[in-house]
Structure 1
């Protein structure tokens, strides 16, 4: 999904400078206890489904929207896991844009396991068992969220 009009207007004013942005992340589990992770184009590290909030948007509403946009399915929010920030949440995009995110992580369930990936954003998604998570190359922010969700020790 391309940048929102709000973010685009900010970037027109500040260029590639660091922006502090609110975001949401989803810990999506299935009935077998697996967790769903995704990889973006050009990034070999696994991440959680998620994205930025729009002005005036409630975080729980935003994560349902992000799941629908990225996976093409409806979701239910079960609970908030926690709120995360700090250096793990800094990212520099290929175009040079720098962001520091503060993300609210939610445990979610999907209405269907038949995905239609947002091809401009996601290269791949896969389900992983808890015991497989330690061996994955994941974005730095993923481990503390999965630890708090009880999936990583």
Structure 2
């Protein structure tokens, strides 16, 4: 994932100290119940589309920006699925971070899924019963997005 300029500027001031950031995740489902995934360039893993909220940006607008930037798909938000404080973590360079993640269920409006930036190696639509392995937390996001309960979960754990 390319580090946003505002984070690089903050890191110049705070070094490796903990930084609390707002993260955003999308479960993009098409009418055939296929989910849109990206295979990340940094670690080779398949994941949901995700990113970081830029200063002054609305979360739902930010996730639509991330979807289009990463996959070429224009989408719309259907609902907030969950929000949770992720555990603190560290990057290999020593930067400490903790994310408050907002997960949205989205649907595609137009565009063809493709690698649209340098953050992904592959992009694709996958049937729910034939997906590559995704991180456990993202599997919970997917489960919550498929739930008929329209209320957001307070954590990434299924109800």
Which bracket does the TM-score occupy, shorter chain normalised? Answer: 0.7 to 0.9
Is 1:138–2:134 an aligned residue pair?
A: yes
For the aligned residues, what is the CA RMSD? 2.3
Retained in 1: the 8 A contact 2:72–2:115?
yes
Distance verdict in 2 for CA 1:96–1:118, change over 3 Å: farther
Q: Which residue pairs with 2:78 in the alignment?
A: 78
Q: Which residue pairs with 1:148 in the alignment?
A: 144
Q: Which residue pairs with 2:150 in the alignment?
A: none
**Unmatched 5+ stretches in structure 2:** 148-157
Count of residues in correspondence between the two structures: 148
Q: Which residue pairs with 1:48 in the alignment?
A: 48
Distance verdict in 2 for CA 1:93–1:113, change over 3 Å: farther
Retained in 2: the 8 A contact 1:44–1:137?
no
Aligned partners of 1:116, 1:146: CA distance in 2, in Å?
Answer: 21
Distance verdict in 2 for CA 1:62–1:41, change over 3 Å: same
Retained in 2: the 8 A contact 1:26–1:106?
yes
- Provide runs of 4+ in structure 1 moved above 6 Å: none
Retained in 1: the 8 A contact 2:113–2:123?
no
* Partner SS for 1:132: coil
TM-score normalized by the length of structure 2: 0.79
Q: Which residue pairs with 2:153 in the alignment?
A: none
Shift of residue 96, structure 1, vs aligned partner: 4.2
TM-score normalized by the length of structure 1: 0.82
Distance verdict in 2 for CA 1:76–1:124, change over 3 Å: same
Distance verdict in 2 for CA 1:91–1:68, change over 3 Å: farther
**Unmatched 5+ stretches in structure 1:** none
Deviations 1:52-84 (A, max 9, x none): 111111111111111121122321111111112
Is 1:126–2:124 an aligned residue pair?
A: yes
Aligned partners of 1:36, 1:3: CA distance in 2, in Å?
Answer: 23
